[in-house]
Amino acid sequence: MIYGRIVLDLFKNLTIMKNFSITMLAVLMFSCQQQTSDQPEESSYEIQDTQPSMYAVSYQVAENNINYYDSITRKYLKTDPIKAFTVRSVDLIEAIGLPISDDAKTKYKHVRIYLGLDSATNQFKMYLTPVKGAKLSAGIAGKDVILDGPYEGIPNSNGEVSESDGQYMMDFTKPCPTTCPEE
């Protein structure tokens, strides 16, 4: 029963996740690259830069946390969870104050933000990945582009980093409090 109460408290605080959105806006910057309109979007993206990502977790860790969040939501809220949000890249660019246009030159026109819950720490997670082929006005979800390459993984609850190369997702979780804006 205590566990159920903890989970319900966590879900009540889900609105805190809105505060994290601003942090994640900076994420879009990793996908900004010149692209002509005749270039096809890729289904996988191999990192060419030698600087590994510092905000990454292995794809498997992210998938486990996303699935755990989904199962908890179904169990305690008795509803299908909101698994992810698909966001236009141009909206993220505008939110961080960069000049924008509807034809902004980004490698991907959308990103997907997944919600997760770490079963070891009961900490909410937000994962970000590029999306290809989405057309939100037409109800077309598009396909996730799983990043692949070197990364400096975020340590798990045991302080271990499971991988440093391979498929990963961006993890931009900085919970509030301690990252709450001062009022």
Query: Does 59 reside within a domain?
Result: yes
What lies within 8 Å, CB to CB, of 92 at 6+ separation is 24, 25, 27, 28, 111
Q: Is residue 182 part of a domain?
A: no
Contact at 8 Å (CB) between 55 and 170?
yes
Between 36 and 74, name the one with better pLDDT: 74
Per-residue pLDDT, 31: 36
Residue 39: CB atoms within 10 Å: 10
Q: How many domains does the chain have?
A: 1
Counted residue by residue, the chain has a size of 183
Name the residue among 58, 66, 60 with its Cα closest to residue 125.
66
Residue 39 lies in a domain: no
Question: Is residue 181 situated within a structural domain?
Answer: no
Domain assignment present for residue 176? The answer is: no
Residue 178: inside a domain: no
Provide, rounded to the nearest whole percent, the portion of the chain with pLDDT above 90.
Answer: 25
Judge whether 177 lies within some domain. no
Residue 120 belongs to domain spanning? 2-34+44-171
Reported confidence tier of residue 106, pLDDT bands at 50, 70, 90: confident
pLDDT reading at 113 higher than 90: yes
For 141-158, what is the mean pLDDT?
76
**Is position 180 within any domain?**
no
- Share the mean pLDDT of the chain: 71
In the predicted model, what is the mean pLDDT of residues 36-42? Answer: 41
Question: What is the band of 149 on the pLDDT scale with cuts at 50, 70, 90?
Answer: confident
What value does the mean pLDDT take over residues 45-70? 74
* From 3-12, 79-88, 128-137, the region with the lowest mean pLDDT: 3-12
CB-facing half-sphere around the CA of 133: CA atoms within 13 A:
10
